[in-house]
Amino acid sequence: MNNLFIPQTEIDRQYEIARSLVSETAGKKACVITFGCQQNENDSERIAGALELCGYEMTENPDEASMIIINTCAIREHAEIRALSEAGQFKGRKERDRSIKIGLCGCMAQQSHRREQIYKSYPCVDFVFGTDMHHRVPEIIKNALTAKKRFSFITESKHDEFGIISEGMPVRRENSYKAWVPVMYGCNNFCTYCVVPYARGRERSRRREDVVAEVKALVEQGYKDITLLGQNVNSYNGGCDFAELLDECASFDGEYRMRFMTSHPKDASDKLIDVIASNKNVAKHFHLPVQSGSSRVLKLMNRKYTREQYLEKALKIKEKNPEISLTTDIICGFPTETDEDFAETMSLVKAVGFDMIYTFIYSPRPGTVAANMEGQIPKAVSNERFKALSDMENDIAQELNDKFIGKTLRVLSDGLNKNGVPCGRSTQNKIVTYDKFIPAGEFVDVVIETAGAYALGGKIK
Ligand code: 5AD
Ligand code: SF4
């Protein structure tokens, strides 16, 4: 791909447009509503940063906002329905006050069949922009404030071309001690169930020096938990491999944790496993989506590894890092999945011993290979498998968590949970509750006394 990076002149132009809007937006509020993954959360922080640059005050309450942007997810049908119903809710308000502007962006907006549906059925949506347009938010906002007609900012080129990287646009971080840092965008894997390669284009990496500088600045500002983000971080190639990038990002002074999301099992290298073991600033948590325990289904999914290869890698990770937590994603009810295939998934889960599983029911995504496969599985069967897997995982997680009783864990405080109980996260990303309030963003040692499948409890040492 040519011109991977957006030139500084274009970034300067966006800053200029933003500045030109400040008098018009004075006293006005904007709101970004986010669905989906961490990548989307981070995109929203960048959109919010650009909105602030344009002069808006950000609010979490859309009722106060005159500029509302809905950042959508397309990974499963459920996510799409939720985003559309969110958009629909503004219909009445929009009819009463035409000056309110509503924009829709993200993975759903990137797909042409969805855009057509939005244009047809959601007249309250004023504008749409794609996943590679975040650096142009000032220009989009200017258009929204002046245009008489609905408009869209989308790279219409084929999915194997779109995708560019912008550096230097502002980020408005939601949290003062936890941060996301994208290292790469897009995906080249084309797992047959997955919409991501169509919605986010081909893999492209940020420059090593840009990523490292962003992490360094965050550490200096006092951030304690930083996650490197990408659909498939192990194929990072912005000047070094991912293991080196992670090691370098975790090499600054001070107590903080580096995390990463997400790895593809075929690319998770021994070098990466060693960096996790040897670098004290790398969190002892590995999220390694397996998707299925049946080699036959994995082949149909185009995952490029077998059950045996996954098992070998998972056991190696655990052996090299005895205190690590290993989590995964599993899809139930992929087309043609038999009872025998599912039994293999169950037995793999038992053999590995995952700390947590994100279980999903297969959702056919228009345009993907699997959506047109014969042998779609009835919902009732998928639901049954989902429940069997969740029940078994509960027992496994309980057993793994019981082993923490009596141990001391270093916990990064999140302040209070929604029940008003002091809580935080361990290096394994386990939720830990304890007896005394500790301000969010501070580390504390907790002696574990109780364990459940989803959380640990203890007393401050
Ligand atoms: N249906 C169900 N789950 C899916 N995922 C991705 N695509 C689909 C789909 N079409 C799951 C995978 C992936 C996680 C982010 O979402 O398990 O790892
Ligand atoms: Fe989707 Fe597979 Fe890429 Fe993950 S690796 S984003 S599941 S295509």
CATH number at residue 97: 3.40.50.12160
How far, in Å, is the centroid of ligand 1 from the Cα of 111? 17
Tell me how far the alpha carbon of residue 76 lies from the centroid of ligand 1, in angstroms.
7
Q: How much is the pLDDT for 159?
A: 52
Q: Provide the token pair at 409.
A: 């864990």
Pocket (CB within 6 angstroms of ligand 2)? 187, 189-191, 194, 196-197, 231-232, 264
Report the SS3 class of residue 204: strand
Q: Is 441 within 8 Å of 413 (Cβ atoms)?
A: yes
| Closest ligand (CA of 335) | 1
On the question of pLDDT at 234 being above 50, the answer is yes
Nearest CA to ligand 2 atom 1: 194
Q: How many domains does the chain have?
A: 3
Please indicate, yes or no, whether residues 397 and 429 belong to a single structural domain of this protein: no
**Residue 16 domain flag:** yes
Q: In this prediction, what percent of the chain has a pLDDT beyond 70?
A: 98
CATH number assigned to the domain comprising residue 341: 3.80.30.20
User: Does 124 reside within a domain?
Assistant: yes
Domain end position, chosen among 387, 402, 417: 402
- 163 inside domain: no
pTM given for the model = 0.95
120, 153, 186: which is the final residue of a domain? 153
Same domain, 56 and 134: yes
- pLDDT tens for each residue of 84-136: 999 999 999 988 998 999 999 999 998 888 888 888 889 899 999 988 888 99
Residues 203, 146, single domain; the answer is no
Domain end, chosen from 153, 186, 204, is at 153
Question: 387: CA distance to ligand 2 center in Å?
Answer: 24
Are 79 and 21 in a shared domain?
yes
Residues 222 and 99 in one domain: no
For residue 459, give Cα distances in angstroms to 194, 409, 415, 418, 420.
Answer: 43, 10, 15, 19, 16
Testing ligand 1's pocket by substitution, the residue of 39, 191, 194 carrying the most ligand atoms inside 8 A of its CB is 194
Q: Domain of 420?
A: 408-460
The yes-or-no verdict on residue 461 having pLDDT over 70 is yes
pLDDT in tens, 268-310: 999 999 999 999 999 999 999 999 999 999 999 999 999 999 9
94 lies in some domain: yes
Q: Which segments of 8-162 does DSSP mark as H helices, in order?
A: 8-25, 38-53, 77-88, 91-96, 107-110, 112-121, 137-146
**Are 230 and 366 found together in one domain?**
yes
Q: Residue 420, exposed/middle/buried by CB under 10 A (0-12, 13-18, 19+)?
A: exposed
Identify whether residues 332 and 392 lie together within a single domain.
yes
Q: Do 108 and 182 fall within a single domain?
A: no
**Domain presence at residue 322:** yes
pLDDT for res 1 = 47
Ligand nearest to the CA of 187: 2
* Centroid of ligand 1 to alpha carbon of 362 (angstroms): 7
Site to probe by mutation for ligand 1, drawn from 41, 193, 288 as the one with most ligand atoms within 8 Å of Cβ, is 193
Residue 52 CB-density burial (10 A; 0-12 exposed, 13-18 middle, 19+ buried): middle
Query: Based on the domain organization, do 83 and 123 belong to the same domain?
Result: yes
Which helix (H) or strand (E) segment holds residue 455: the answer is: strand 455-460
Give the strand order in the sheet containing 285-287: 285-287, 325-332, 356-361
Q: Is residue 185 part of a domain?
A: yes
Report if residue 165 sits inside a domain. Answer: no
Q: Are residues 430 and 373 in the same domain?
A: no
26, with CB counted inside 10 A (0-12, 13-18, 19+), is exposed
- Is position 162 within any domain? no
pLDDT score, position 85: 92
- Output phi, psi for 318, to 5 deg: -70, -35
pLDDT of residue 427: 98
Neighbours of 29 (CB within 10 A): 18
Ligand closest to the CA atom of residue 334 = 1
Verify that 265 and 322 share a domain, yes or no.
yes
Looking at the DSSP assignment, which residues form a beta bridge with residue 205? Answer: 184
**Three-state DSSP class for 246?**
helix
Same domain as 142, residue 31: yes
